[in-house]
Chain A
Amino acid sequence: MKKKKMLLSQETMDTGFIRKVETLSDTSVRSCFQCGKCSAGCPMATFMEHPPNRVMRLLQLGQWQRVLAGRSIWYCASCETCSTRCPNKVHLASIMDALRKLSWDAEGPSKESYVQLANKLFLQNISSYGRQYEMRLAAVFNVKSGQFLKDMMLGPKLFAKGKLKMFQRKNKNLTEIQKIFSRIEEMRKKGEAL
């Protein structure tokens, strides 16, 4: 995919996708003039196969498959450095949010599974408990990602310091949060929200 020639035509440049990103992120994709300042300051750029400016460029050309297939969007730490320093007020951190959401909608074409798994478990915890259950988050992540021994050494120490809570009480008003989840799902089904 990466090395394949880009055949540009009105058919291959998916402007509908660009519009979706713009609606979700509330920022103009065309405003970027490829100065590269985002990539210069991105703490995660060295971990990405497409540095942030190139993610923007591919997006400008409507090449969403190339963007979503990569790991770059999942390696964004949402540190907001790019948005803060962009000379053109492109809110790239929000564009990254939009791209991740659309990647999920497209059922995760990215190979980056760990970050996606962590996000999924985090959201599941919110809908089941109302608040984050850190201990469970870490434990389930390790099981599901097959890294049973990850951070094994930290466990007892954290436990001794009172940093790991074994039990999490569910919020009394948990149904309210579950309603929020279901109302959002409903709106999306009806096409009232992206």
Chain B
Amino acid sequence: MNDTLKYAYYPGCSLHASAGEYDLSTRELFSALGISLTEVPDWFCCGATPAHNVDELLSLSLCAKNLELAEQVEGDLAVACASCFSRLKFTQHTLEENATKRKQVEKAIDAPVKLDGKVKHLLEILAKDLGLERLAASVSKPLAGLKVACYYGCLLTRPTDVPNLDCPEAPTIMERVVEASGAETVAWTHRLECCGANFTLSRPGVVLQLTNAILDSAKAAGADCIMVGCPLCHGNLDIRQKEIENVYSAEYNLPVFYLTQLVGLSVGLAPDQLGLNAMIVNPTPLLKEKGLL
């Protein structure tokens, strides 16, 4: 068996902007683990929520186009952003099931639709392709004593039969990955609740209310920090955390890590390789306290 895992990499728009640290830590972690990532050349936006919200055909076409572009690069398609992951999987699922929509999309992209390529979220690559045992074997600085609240949000697991990443109601894949890195995980009630997602732009009040409940639940469960696999969740939990504390007179001070940042720490990557300084809620005091810095 060829030991090198090779993937085409679809970072998505956020990772080239507000979630730069997710992109950075992904590249650094994968290179440290000996996994090769080659960015899909000239990829487009997947359309995210706004496209499928008002124009499903456009959403499917954008994703189908990206799947076509990804064919140029060897390997399954690795996706970091939960929203891009969800849209690409939805597209594969829909076009597989619905011949009419498939024909329309083929006309829109002026090319045959290819659905045999596998789309994988980073979690899947770490937990299944690399495997938890090999991941654990790469850990040089176990995250001992760090209590992590794994936050799935909506799009990694829902709906049933589409992303097929894990059970939509009782997933464990994030916990398994971060536990392999030596961290502890907490059982909490809001790990699958919605953060309000892209209402952060149009109706931020909604986001504050929903995200407050999530932070409150993680704090109540005794978590030190939150781990996410989605830039939008990250934005709402991290960037808006101070504002939420002000509005709801609460004190959370919960650093919000991308999964690649925490796993990256455990394999011995330095803070600047993981973009820890880009986090709004400063993780340094916590990591120092736990002896991880």
A residues neighboring B (CB under 8 Å): 24, 26, 43-44, 47, 75, 77-81, 83-84, 91, 93-94, 96-98, 100-101, 104, 114-115, 117-119, 122-123, 125-126, 130-135, 137-138, 141, 150-151, 153-154, 157-158, 161-165, 171-173, 176-177, 179-181, 183-184, 187, 192-194
Contact = CB atoms under 8 A, between A and B. Distances in A.
Given A26-B98, A180-B58, A184-B58, A78 B53 contact: yes
Chain B at the A interface: SS class? helix
Given A43-B193, A78-B197, A97 B52 contact: yes
Contacts of B202: 114-115, 117-118, 141
Given A84-B159, A93-B159, A131-B13, A192 B107 contact: yes
Nearest to B213: A43
Contacts of A77: 154, 194, 196-199, 206
B278 A137 contact: no
Contacts, number: 173
A122 B48 contact: yes
Given A101-B54, A126-B51, A163-B20, A184 B210 contact: no
30 contacts: A26-B94, A26-B97, A26-B98, A43-B194, A47-B203, A79-B158, A80-B154, A80-B155, A80-B158, A81-B158, A83-B160, A97-B53, A101-B55, A114-B202, A118-B50, A118-B198, A118-B202, A130-B44, A130-B45, A133-B17, A134-B14, A141-B201, A150-B204, A163-B278, A176-B65, A180-B108, A183-B109, A187-B104, A193-B104, A194-B57
In this complex, the interface size class of chain B, counting residues with CB under 8 Å from chain A, is 35 or more
A134 B20 CA distance: 12
Interface in B9-41: 13-14, 16-20
